C-alpha cells in the first residue's frame, strides 16, 4: 500500500492506494499521525484506490480518527469503494466514519 498527502485550503488529504490490511494498517496510522504532528488536524482519507479493507484497516482508521479529534480536529473518509463500504456497514462503523463522495466535499459544510 502507498500513502501520500497534500495540504489543501482547510484540510489535509491523505491518499491510501492498495490493500488496507494487517500489514499496511500500522503504516497508515503512523502516516496520519505524522500528518497531524505536522500541523493538520482536519484529515480526509481518500479511499478511491483502496480496493480492500479488513478489520485491522478499520481499526487503523478509528485510531486515526481519535488522533485527529485529540488534536482538536476531525477525520473523514471519501470515495469509498464497494468492499470498504461493505465492511463499514457490517460493523456498523459507517455511523462513526462518515463517508463523503469526494475529498472536496468532506469538510465543505464546516
Partner 1 sequence: MTDVLASRSFRGPAAEDAVESVHNDLDSLWLDVPFVQDMDQMTFTTAVIESVSNIIQHAEPAGDEPVELGVDITVQPALLQARVSAFHAQPPFGPMEPAVPGEDSESGRGLALIEALVTTVTFERQESTNTWVLSRTSSQG
- In the complex with partner 1, the residue whose CB is nearer, 26 or 101, is 26
CA–CA distance, 101 with 83 (Å, rounded to integer): 15
- The least CB distance from residue 87 to partner 1, in Å, is 7
Which positions touch partner 1 (CB under 8 A)?
A: 19, 21-23, 52, 54-56, 58-60, 62-63, 66, 82-83, 86-87, 90-93, 95-96
- In the complex with partner 1, the residue whose CB is nearer, 7 or 23, is 23
Count of alpha carbons within 13 angstroms of residue 73, beta-carbon side: 23
DSSP bridge partners of 21: none
- The least CB distance from residue 95 to partner 1, in Å, is 8
- In the complex with partner 1, the residue whose CB is nearer, 21 or 33, is 21
CA-atom Rg of the chain in angstroms: 12
- The least CB distance from residue 7 to partner 1, in Å, is 26
DSSP bridge partners of 3: 16
CA–CA distance, 90 with 9 (Å, rounded to integer): 34
Amino acid at each position: 500500500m502507498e500513502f501520500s498527502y497534500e495540504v489543501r485550503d482547510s484540510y489535509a488529504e491523505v491518499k491510501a492506494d492498495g490493500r488496507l490490511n494487517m500489514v499496511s494498517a500500522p503504516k497508515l496510522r503512523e502516516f496520519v499521525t505524522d500528518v497531524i504532528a505536522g500541523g493538520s488536524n482536519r484529515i480526509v482519507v481518500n479511499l478511491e484506490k483502496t480496493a480492500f479493507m479488513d478489520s485491522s484497516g478499520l481499526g487503523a482508521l478509528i485510531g486515526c480518527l481519535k488522533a485527529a479529534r485529540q488534536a482538536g480536529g476531525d477525520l473523514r473518509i471519501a470515495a469509498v469503494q464497494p468492499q470498504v463500504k461493505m465492511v463499514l456497514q457490517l460493523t456498523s462503523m459507517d455511523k462513526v466514519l462518515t463517508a463523503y463522495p469526494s475529498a472536496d466535499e468532506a469538510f465543505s459544510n464546516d
